[in-house]
Amino acid sequence: MRSLILLGLVGFAAQLVDGSLGMAYGVTSTTLLLAIGTNPAAASATVHLAEIGTTLASGISHWRFDNVDWKVIAKIGIPGALGAFAGATFLSSLSTEVAAPIMSIILLALGVYILVRFTAFGLSRDNLGKPLRKRFLAPLGLFAGFIDATGGGGWGPVGTPALLASGRIPPRKVIGSIDTSEFLIAIAASIGFFVGLGSENIDFAWVAVLLAGGVIAAPIAAWLVRHIPPRILGSAVGGLIILTNTRTLLRSDWVDAPGNVQTIAYVAIAVIWAAAVAYSVREYRRHKEQESVEAIEAELRRREAEEPTPA
């Protein structure tokens, strides 16, 4: 019973972070399941089954708070589902251990860019309102979906920084769209796991507890995203991207850093991250009239009225 309660709290915390920052549900939940001895395929299958419910609840919550861009979801979600199905089906025979450090380096660079960009300058408005093209979103979705299924998490860590770096839609809609489209990825991955594994290795009690925790957290996270200013939200997401990908690199075969080195690195990142968020809060208060959620939305509506987005 104690382990189920703990798992429910993990599901709540993971969804709260995922729904408000656009990533970490799969990575957090899968890490815990692996730590207690679950094999990688079964752990990923359990998390993706739970995510069918949590992403549905999260998507509905983000939609109700107007955090969703449906055109982005249509262009990224279907390729993402195809990638997730392929990744789940071939998880037992494919390894991402070699590719993971390379991907982490790329995402780490994006995380540094996002942290510096949003902390120092706030949301860039140069490309705000411009459409995200299918030729960019489709390959991104395919790759992110595959990584998500094979690694037990990756849709948010890959998709969120890429969309944020484009500067074309507000951060809250990046997070809302990524979280909502993840419903398709969870369904496709779960079908793939049933095809490749069957259901005998899946503990449905764990699925139910993870699901319950995530469903409770989903509307809270969507509300937070709707009210956190873009500059502060960007700094928070950038720091999380840096922390998670540094963790991957330090634990990879490429580096294999000792435990004390890892601890020092995490503490240093946490201090820099906290300082960046504090600076963002201070700058936001100084320029609140230009950087509030309402001001960004007004600017976006004005641009859309002047240059209607092509169908």
pLDDT reading at 301 higher than 80: no
Instruction: Record the tokens describing residue 157, joined without a space.
Output: 């860590």
Identity of the amino acid at 188: A
Are 183 and 54 in contact by the 8 Å Cβ rule? The answer is no
Task: Please give the angle made by the CA atoms of 275, 280 and 284, to the nearest 5 degrees.
Answer: 150
Dihedral through CA 248, CA 252, CA 254, CA 258, nearest 10?
A: 100
| pLDDT at residue 92 in the model | 46
Identity of the amino acid at 196: G
Tens-digit pLDDT profile for residues 21-60: 677 677 667 666 665 666 666 776 777 788 888 889 989 9
How far is the C-alpha of 174 from the C-alpha of 188, rounded, in Å? Answer: 21
R_g (Cα) of the chain, nearest Å: 19
Q: Which residue has the higher pLDDT, 144 or 101?
A: 144
Are 183 and 60 in contact by the 8 Å Cβ rule? The answer is no
| pLDDT at residue 63 in the model | 92
pLDDT reading at 273 higher than 90: yes
Pick from 111, 124, 147: nearest CA to 240? 111
Pick from 157, 209, 163: nearest CA to 185? 157
Are 102 and 146 in contact by the 8 Å Cβ rule? The answer is no
| pLDDT at residue 17 in the model | 73
| pTM score of the predicted model | 0.70
Contacts of 220 (CB under 8 A, 6+ apart): 16, 19
How far is the C-alpha of 307 from the C-alpha of 311, rounded, in Å? Answer: 12
Q: Which residue has the higher pLDDT, 304 or 217?
A: 217
Instruction: Record the tokens describing residue 67, joined without a space.
Output: 């955090």
Sign for the CA dihedral angle at 72, 227, 161, 77 comes to negative
Are 145 and 156 in contact by the 8 Å Cβ rule? The answer is no
CA atoms within 13 A on the CB side of 162: 22
Lowest-confidence region among 135-139, 176-180, 278-282, 289-293: 289-293
Q: Can you tell me the mean pLDDT for 63-76?
A: 90
Q: Which residue has the higher pLDDT, 91 or 84?
A: 84
Q: What is the 3-state secondary structure (H, E, C) of 83-95?
A: HHHHHHHCCCCCC
Any idea what DSSP says for residue 202? -
| pLDDT at residue 39 in the model | 63
How far is the C-alpha of 256 from the C-alpha of 101, rounded, in Å? Answer: 11
How far is the C-alpha of 43 from the C-alpha of 151, rounded, in Å? Answer: 10
Sign for the CA dihedral angle at 194, 71, 148, 43 comes to negative
